[in-house]
């Protein structure tokens, strides 16, 4: 390709977009190989072929419709990774219902907000996850559940919620059991469902995913069949997936990483989905890779670090691995090299995106030079446009940082029931404003510099946390690091780093400062260094820098300076 003269790229492709709903996709792929392995859920002893998955998804769709749910109704799902989650993903789509993904880490007030904002008529939930009791949260919003007839909840707090379906064998007042909802369908019922599906459109909304809501209330990104079927397909293409592949998916289904880059990437290529455990567990994941002969493995950097640094890592044989995706947060170069060398993932790719864009916009190719794969997020995905703009909205030259804007089939319909937030995020030309700072080089490779809100301005100098983190990862005693800014009366902001040391390693504040001063400009040397055992994280493995910032401000008795 010709070197770029401006930071604008478009994914020209001879491979057409898929014009299918999720139901049409599942039927086509099943017809091509009904006996192929579709889903392995090791913690539930589930092994389903594509014929099994389609039949069970049809049964669930017919069962949900028999409860009175109609096209466009919202069905919430609140559970960690279980086979029922996958059935809900496909069964809801077959029935034309909109699946509302609820973060397994949500507590009562967050759950309440998501259910009310999306107007869910039905809710599928597990009893809880880790130390989080979902039934208690439901009762705090809808105490009427205990006296309700199952399927006929009438609640003041959640006025639109009527049907509550629980996972597991036990019974709970006011709730239906999941296994009671799908009934073995007759041939006539299956034909009627297929005829109903044929009327659904691929631009219909099918999924609401709530963003993390680090500032203000969470927003519900509304995605269509077209959004996520195609993103899953092209992600799978970049990974060179085939029906022979088995992809280990330890990332949460509730997030695009699990349900699109994992489940839909597999289904669009007839590959097998392998779930090692309900929540991430490094040993369960390594066991699944070895036992199932997985050829691919997804994860965020912290997951790969947890596996590589586990004292039992050497017990496992990951040599079947070939590919996978590391994404969800910036991928440290040193971690990427260890994944390639020690986990045999020679074709591992980096992907970049956001929930609002289904999610992937950039992905490295399996044959990109390693230095490109470890230092960039690759090049533009097919059928997508991206431009990098300055604060005035003008496209910047190659290599210059600015905000990343993306346009194409992948951009969400909008935020559910929030036209103001939608208008603020998607401009008149249908470009999604990501809030991410990035550069695109002359060859089209993208590098994510950080978040607009995370960029540190110290005495007029711009500091990009990603650069600081990448540098500190090269220190042999550093296992993990997060860099962020905190207020400073003199300079406006100062740089702070939190470091997790490698087990058995020694490192102190003065050594960190000396290490930075020896190789970086003075203003990039951290003013504050703290050593921690763990970072506050989201369930998808993203470090919550705003919580670290708050903790440091409290420790140092700092107050945010007001700006005009």
Question: Of 284, 375, 295, nearest to 343 (Cα)?
Answer: 295
**End-to-end CA distance of the chain, in Å?**
46
d(CA 4, CA 12): 15
Matching residue, tokens 């007759």 = 186
d(CA 327, CA 51): 31
457-462: list long-range contacts, CB under 8 Å, 24+ apart. 457/485, 457/492, 457/493, 458/485, 458/488, 458/491, 458/492, 458/493, 458/494, 458/495, 458/523, 459/490, 459/491, 459/492, 459/523, 461/521, 461/523, 462/401
Output the six-digit token pair for 132: 């989080």
Return the CATH architecture of domain 51-210: 3-Layer(aba) Sandwich (3.40)
* 51-210 against 456-555: fold identical: no
* pLDDT value of position 438: 94
Question: Of 257, 193, 178, 237, nearest to 26 (Cα)?
Answer: 193
d(CA 17, CA 392): 33
* pLDDT value of position 330: 64
Length of the chain, in residues: 564
Per DSSP, the three-state class of 543 is strand
Q: What is the pLDDT along the chain (564 residues), one digit of tens a residue?
A: 789 999 999 999 999 999 999 999 999 999 999 999 999 999 999 999 999 999 999 999 999 999 999 999 999 999 999 999 999 999 999 999 999 999 898 888 889 999 999 999 999 999 999 999 999 999 999 999 999 999 999 999 999 999 999 999 999 999 999 999 998 999 999 999 999 999 999 999 999 999 864 345 789 999 999 999 999 999 999 999 999 999 999 999 999 999 999 999 999 999 999 999 999 999 999 999 999 999 999 998 889 989 999 999 999 999 999 999 998 766 777 888 899 999 999 999 999 999 999 999 999 999 998 888 888 999 999 999 999 999 899 999 999 999 999 999 999 999 999 999 999 999 999 999 999 999 999 999 999 887 777 888 787 777 888 889 989 999 999 999 999 999 887 788 899 999 999 999 999 999 999 999 988 878 899 999 999 999 998 877 778 898 999 999 999 998 764 332
Cβ–Cβ under 8 Å, residues 403 and 435: yes
Global pTM reads 0.87
The torsion angle over the Cα atoms of residues 519, 523, 527 and 533, rounded to 10 degrees, is -50
Sequence-ordered list of residues with C-beta below 8 angstroms from that of 555, at least 6 positions apart, any chain: none
Cα–Cα distances in angstroms (integers) from residue 371 to residues 240, 350, 375, 377, 414, in the given order? 20, 12, 6, 11, 36
Cα–Cα distances in angstroms (integers) from residue 317 to residues 68, 324, 343, 418, 452, in the given order? 49, 16, 9, 49, 41
Return the CATH architecture of domain 219-424+432-451: 3-Layer(aba) Sandwich (3.40)
d(CA 284, CA 37): 20
Return the CATH architecture of domain 456-555: 2-Layer Sandwich (3.30)
d(CA 288, CA 86): 18
Longest dimension (CA), the chain: 75
* pLDDT value of position 490: 76
Per DSSP, the three-state class of 443 is coil
Cβ–Cβ under 8 Å, residues 231 and 264: yes
Domain ranges of the chain: 51-210, 219-424+432-451, 456-555
The neighbour count for residue 341, using CB atoms within 10 Å, is: 11
**H/E element, 24:** helix 22-32
* pLDDT value of position 212: 61
d(CA 508, CA 504): 13
């Amino acid at each position: 390709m010709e070197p770029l003269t401006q930071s604008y790229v478009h994914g020209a492709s001879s491979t057409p977009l898929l014009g299918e709903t999720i139901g049409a996709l599942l039927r086509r792929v099943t017809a091509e190989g009904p006996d192929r392995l579709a889903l392995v859920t090791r913690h539930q002893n589930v092994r389903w072929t594509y014929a099994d998955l389609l039949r069970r998804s049809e049964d669930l769709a017919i069962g949900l419709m028999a409860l009175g749910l109609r096209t466009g109704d919202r069905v919430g799902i609140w559970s960690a990774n279980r086979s029922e989650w996958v059935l809900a993903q496909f069964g809801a789509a077959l029935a034309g219902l909109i699946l509302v993904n609820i973060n397994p880490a949500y507590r009562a007030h967050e759950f309440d907000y998501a259910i009310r904002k999306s107007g869910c008529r039905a809710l599928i939930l597990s009893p809880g996850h880790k130390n989080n009791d979902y039934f208690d949260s439901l009762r705090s919003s809808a105490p009427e559940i205990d006296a309700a007839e199952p399927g006929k909840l009438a609640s003041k707090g959640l006025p639109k919620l009527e049907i509550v379906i629980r996972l597991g064998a036990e019974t709970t007042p006011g709730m239906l059991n999941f296994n009671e909802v799908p009934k073995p369908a007759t041939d006539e019922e299956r034909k009627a469902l297929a005829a109903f599906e044929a009327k659904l459109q691929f631009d219909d909304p099918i999924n609401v995913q709530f963003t993390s809501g680090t500032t203000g209330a969470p927003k519900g990104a509304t995605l269509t069949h077209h959004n996520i079927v195609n993103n899953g397909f092209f992600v799978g293409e970049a990974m060179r997936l085939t029906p022979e592949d088995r992809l280990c998916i330890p990332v949460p289904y509730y997030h695009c990483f699990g349900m699109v880059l994992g489940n839909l990437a597999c289904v669009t290529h007839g590959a097998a989905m392998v779930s090692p455990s309900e929540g991430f567990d490094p040993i369960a994941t390594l066991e699944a890779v070895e036992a199932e002969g997985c050829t691919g493995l997804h994860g965020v950097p912290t997951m790969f670090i947890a596996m590589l640094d586990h004292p039992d890592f050497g017990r496992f044989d990951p040599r079947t691995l070939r590919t996978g995706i590391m994404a969800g947060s910036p991928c440290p170069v040193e971690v990427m090299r260890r994944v390639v060398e020690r986990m045999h993932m020679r074709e591992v790719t980096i992907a970049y995106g956001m929930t609002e864009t289904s999610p992937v916009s950039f992905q490295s190719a399996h044959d990109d030079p390693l230095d490109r794969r470890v230092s960039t997020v690759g090049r533009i995905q097919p059928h997508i446009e991206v431009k990098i703009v300055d604060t005035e909205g003008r496209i910047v030259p190659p290599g210059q940082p600015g905000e990343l804007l993306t346009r194409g089939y992948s951009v969400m319909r909008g935020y559910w029931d929030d036209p103001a937030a939608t208008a603020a995020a998607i401009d008149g030309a249908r470009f999604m404003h990501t809030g991410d700072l990035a550069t695109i080089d002359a060859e089209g490779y993208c590098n994510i510099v950080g978040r607009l809100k995370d960029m540190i301005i110290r005495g007029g100098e711009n500091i990009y946390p990603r650069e600081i983190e990448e540098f500190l990862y090269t220190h042999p005693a550093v296992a993990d690091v997060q860099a962020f800014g905190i207020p400073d009366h003199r300079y406006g902001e100062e740089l702070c780093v939190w470091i997790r040391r490698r087990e058995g390693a020694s490192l102190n504040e003065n050594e960190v400062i000396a290490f930075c001063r020896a190789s970086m400009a003075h203003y990039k040397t951290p003013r504050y260094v703290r050593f921690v055992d763990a970072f506050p994280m989201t369930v998808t493995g993203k470090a919550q820098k705003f919580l670290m910032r708050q903790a440091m401000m409290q420790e140092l008795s700092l107050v945010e300076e007001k700006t005009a």
